[in-house]
Structure formats: structure tokens, C-alpha cells
A and B are shown apart, each in its own frame.
Chain A
Amino acid sequence: MANRTIIPFGPQHPVLPEPIHLDLVVEDERVIEAIPSIGFIHRGLEKLVEKKDFIDFTYVAERICGICSFIHGQTYCQGIEEIMQLQVPDRAKALRTIWGEMSRLHSHLLWLGLMADAFGFESLFMHCWRLRETLLDEIEATTGGRVIFGSCKVGGTRRDVTDAKLAEIVRILDGMEQEIRDITGVFMSDSTVKHRMRGVGIITKEEAQALGAVGPTLRASGVAQDMRTLGYAFFNKINFKTITRTEGDCQARCEVRIDELFASIDIIRQVVAQMPGGAVDVEVKGNPNGEFFSRVEQPRGEVVYYIKANGTKNLQRFRARTPTFANLAPLVKMLQGCDLADVPVMALTIDPCISCTER
């Protein structure tokens, strides 16, 4: 029997600059077991509901993550609106959908760049981030922010976007689409890239469901589940297909994200084509009283906000279950039996966001 060694991976690692720690139990070069540790930077934001009133808490929710900041704000506002039975104007719902899909686009492009960087493809990394930069410019032009949009509020959105600007965004996305196709073609067909990902880190459909996987990690294993099909925001008026793969390996998770880039562009086109007119917010009166599990599809998967209110300005309970937290168990499973050299690539394929997880 080979000697067993425990190799610490993280919380600071050149390939994974996120504060997660894995104790990798290895025999020679093979990982036998991976034991995760998180909580190095747990912020306890959930407890802030005791100090911040439910309107102001939107700002806190947006700061849970710097990548899907907008969708965090949207998930929170949607939960409060459900409890208070607010009728959010269609234009606000449409704007939320556009900004949410722009968040997904820039998050997936960021991930593709990090992935390219992880297997040493520097020029590919730069091209992915160059495209992402164009999106961030448009986000800044419409919201004023590149990281924290500050555009969602309980009852609607804080700002409107002119129809001319929306048409310009569609034109820019039209131009980007071919460039994205060219760049992502490398991930889809390059033999050296596929060599690192095809057949690596397989999670079966049954395992993905049993382990509570979400998002591209779940869909790459053949489970067609996407919270956008619930029809929140403007999604009840949009035609889109849940993207899946059946292989369940690192390549499949990559391909799901690539296809989702094109799906997001198409969703934005559809929303702009049906853009309703009118106001972007409604007046909020009183305090929420009730509870709701607000579920929204973030780039990394389903995020769940449990909001419980008792009629006062401070919520009784706010709980955020982020997609990375749900994908930790599948990560641990996929690492069992892998080669040590594949650990960084496999860890990246769940698109870990520990900032979210340490809310």
C-alpha cells in the first residue's frame, strides 16, 4: 500500500485565489479524499438584518458578491416584493432581466479567462477578459457601476435606460457574438484544452442530484434545471432552452457555460424587442410581514434567499444559500480518485465564489 500524505490546498493558492482550504489525502499522485474548510472570512452579513431596515438591506445584499452583485440585490428585492405583494412594473422586470443576463455574460467570460489561465493559455485568458471589458463598459454606462450596480430596489429599479441605449447594447452584443464564438471555439475543439478537461472530474446525474449540485455543475450532468424557468422577472415572456450536457466532466461544465453565453445574448435581444414602457418602480408602503424563499439563477447556479419578516422595519431572518456553498459537496466528490495535477482545474469548474459563500 502506498504511503498516504495530506497536502494542504489553499486558502491561498496561485491557481485559486479564494479563501477555501482543502486537505487532500493522497496516495502517490492520486487524491483519495478531500476535506473542505471554509469560514476564513465569514462576514456574518445575515445578522445585519437586525440593524439595517429592510429597504437599506438591499445595499448589503448587493455586496455579498462582486461578480453577481446585481442578482443578489434582485433576489433580495424579489423576496421582499413577494411578501409585500408589490406589483413591480414590467419595465423594471425587463431591466432586471437585462442586467442579470449581462452579469451572467461577464461572469462566464471571467470564468473562461480564469480557466484558460489555470491551464497556462495566457493569450486566451486575455481575449476572454478583453471581451468582458466591453460588457463592463456597457454596465457602467447604464448603471454607473462596474462591480456594484446599485440599480435594484424594493419595488423596481433605481434608474431607467433609454430605448436608444438598449438598442445600442444589442448592436454591441451582435458584434461580440462572433468574437465570443471564435474564442470559445478554442475551449470546444482545441486538443490540448480538451486533454485537460474531457473525462476529468465526472459527476453522474444521480450524484449531482443527490449531492445538491446547482447551476452549470448540475446541468453538465444531464439535469435540466434552471431557476429562470420559474418565470421570475421577465422570464415568463422569454423563450429559452435550458442548456445541458450529459458527460458530467470538466469539459461539459465548460461547454454549458459557453452555450449559456449565447443564450444570454439571445435573452437580452428578446427583452429589448419586447421592452415595455412606463414607470420603473412603485411606491413601497408599510413593512413586510410573512416569509418567502426567493430563488434566482445566478451564473454559478441557484441562489436561495430565505426572508422572514414580522411586520417591523427589521427582518426577523435573512438567510442566503449561495451556489458555491451548494457545489462544495459535488466538488469533494469529484476530487476523490483524481490526479493531484487536476485538482486546480476541477476546483475551478464549479466556478467557486467564496466571497458569496462567506456572506
Chain B
Amino acid sequence: MIEAQPTTNITPDTLVPETQKMKANGYRLVQMCASRLPEGLEVNYTFDKDCAFANLRILIAAESPSLPSVSGVYWAALLYENEMHDLYGIQFPGLVLDFKGNFYKVAKKHAFNEAASCTAPAKS
């Protein structure tokens, strides 16, 4: 094993406080990503401090998914949240800069999550 990768399961209610704790403890936001699983959408928030890995994980419903934005805590999260919105259809209330579905110019909206509304762009 190259490194230990501890993961903590949390809920949407505790997401922002847990993220604030990570920032207060000096952790760098490494990445955020969603995964489509049979039981719903799994979202990982990965952090690093002096090459020590930490991960927060949330499981949410795949239909009309929504999570509080952590872009108020880590500003860079806005890029990951816009990405997850465009590919998975997750809504992030409180997003500091919302590209409103135009972060990725993809032919098919929410292509990674068929349970979210999947609509093709109108032909010009």
C-alpha cells in the first residue's frame, strides 16, 4: 500500500461544518467527484495535509440530487461543483460562481447520471 486512505462517511447536514474543520486544520482541497452507484450518487471530498490523505464521503439520491456548496469554505470548490452539476445534475445551493450548466460544453447534459434530467441541446 502506497499510503493509507481513510474515508469518513458524513451526511449533507454535516458537510459544511466538516469541510470548515478540514480547512481550519490546514488541509488542502485535493479534489471532489461524484460516482453513480446502484444505490445513488456517492460524492467524495478529498483533502491533503503534508501528503497525509483524508476523504469525506456522502451518499445522496440520484434523482434531483442536491448538496450544500462548500465553495464558501474552499473557493476552488466552485470548479468541482460546476463540473458535478454539468455531468451529474447535482444542484449546489450557495455556489459562489454558478456557470448554470455551461461549465462544460457537452452535447448531452448530465450524461453521467441518467436519473437526472437528460436533455439534448436544441438544434440551431
B97 within 8 A of A: yes
Known contacts A225-B51, A230-B3, A293-B46; A212/B104 CB under 8 A: no
Task: Identify which of residues 78-102 in chain A touch chain B, using a CB-to-CB cut-off of 8 Å.
Answer: 78, 82
Smallest Cβ-Cβ distance to A318: which chain B residue: B35
Give A166 Cβ to nearest chain B Cβ, in Å: 25
The 8 Å CB contact of A304, one of B2, B31, B35, B37, is B31
Q: Are B28 and A209 in contact (CB under 8 A)?
A: yes
Task: Identify which of residues 65-124 in chain B touch chain A, using a CB-to-CB cut-off of 8 Å.
Answer: 74-76, 78-79, 86, 97, 99, 102-106, 111-112
Known contacts A293-B46, A321-B30, A321-B31; A211/B76 CB under 8 A: yes
The 8 Å CB contact of A230, one of B23, B33, B35, B51, is B51
Task: Identify which of residues 28-70 in chain A touch chain B, using a CB-to-CB cut-off of 8 Å.
Answer: 35, 37-40, 42, 44, 46-47
B62 within 8 A of A: no
Q: Which residues on A sit within 8 Å (CB–CB) of B46? A: 293, 304, 306
Q: Are A230 and B74 in contact (CB under 8 A)?
A: no
Q: Are A38 and B104 in contact (CB under 8 A)?
A: yes
Q: How far is the CA of A321 from the CA of B44 in the complex (A)?
A: 12
The 8 Å CB contact of A40, one of B26, B50, B86, B105, is B105
Q: Which residues on B sit within 8 Å (CB–CB) of A39? A: 86, 102-106
B53-69 vs A, CB cutoff 8 Å, 1 = contact: the mask equals 10100000000000000
Q: Are A210 and B74 in contact (CB under 8 A)?
A: yes
Q: How far is the CA of A212 from the CA of B49 in the complex (A)?
A: 11
A317 within 8 A of B: yes
Total interface residues in chain A, CB < 8 Å: 36
Q: Are B111 and A225 in contact (CB under 8 A)?
A: no
Q: Which residues on A sit within 8 Å (CB–CB) of B112? A: 46-47
| Interface majority SS (helix, strand, loop, mixed), chain A | mixed
B29 within 8 A of A: yes
Q: Which residues on B sit within 8 Å (CB–CB) of A321? A: 30-31, 33
Give A251 Cβ to nearest chain B Cβ, in Å: 23
Stretch binding the partner chain, chosen from A189-197, A256-264, A323-331: A323-331
Q: Are B79 and A82 in contact (CB under 8 A)?
A: no
A177-214 vs B, CB cutoff 8 Å, 1 = contact: the mask equals 00000000000000000000000000000000111100
B8 within 8 A of A: no
B17-50 vs A, CB cutoff 8 Å, 1 = contact: the mask equals 0000001001011110101110000001010101
Q: How far is the CA of A82 from the CA of B3 in the complex (A)?
A: 10
Give A340 Cβ to nearest chain B Cβ, in Å: 22
Q: Are A44 and B105 in contact (CB under 8 A)?
A: no
Q: Which residues on A sit within 8 Å (CB–CB) of B37? A: 316
Give B3 Cβ to nearest chain A Cβ, in Å: 5
Q: Which residues on B sit within 8 Å (CB–CB) of A292? A: 5
Q: How far is the CA of A211 from the CA of B31 in the complex (A)?
A: 11
The 8 Å CB contact of A293, one of B53, B99, B104, is B53
Known contacts A35-B97, A44-B111; A328/B106 CB under 8 A: no
Give A24 Cβ to nearest chain B Cβ, in Å: 15
Q: Are B55 and A293 in contact (CB under 8 A)?
A: yes
Q: How far is the CA of A325 from the CA of B82 in the complex (A)?
A: 12
Jot down 23 A-B pairs with beta carbons below 8 A, ordered by A: A39-B104, A39-B106, A42-B106, A44-B111, A46-B112, A82-B1, A209-B28, A210-B23, A211-B76, A212-B29, A212-B76, A232-B2, A295-B2, A295-B3, A302-B30, A304-B31, A304-B46, A306-B31, A306-B33, A308-B35, A316-B37, A325-B79, A328-B79
Excluding A212-B76, A231-B2, 18 further A-B contacts by CB distance (< 8 Å) are: A35-B97, A39-B105, A47-B112, A209-B28, A210-B23, A211-B76, A225-B48, A230-B3, A293-B53, A295-B2, A295-B3, A302-B30, A306-B33, A308-B35, A316-B35, A321-B33, A326-B31, A329-B79
Closest 10 pairs between A and B when the two form their complex, measured CB to CB: A39-B104, A329-B76, A321-B31, A317-B35, A212-B76, A319-B33, A212-B29, A42-B104, A39-B105, A232-B2
B-binding residues in A (CB < 8 A): 35, 37-40, 42, 44, 46-47, 78, 82, 209-212, 225, 227, 229-232, 292-293, 295, 302, 304, 306, 308, 316-317, 319, 321, 325-326, 328-329
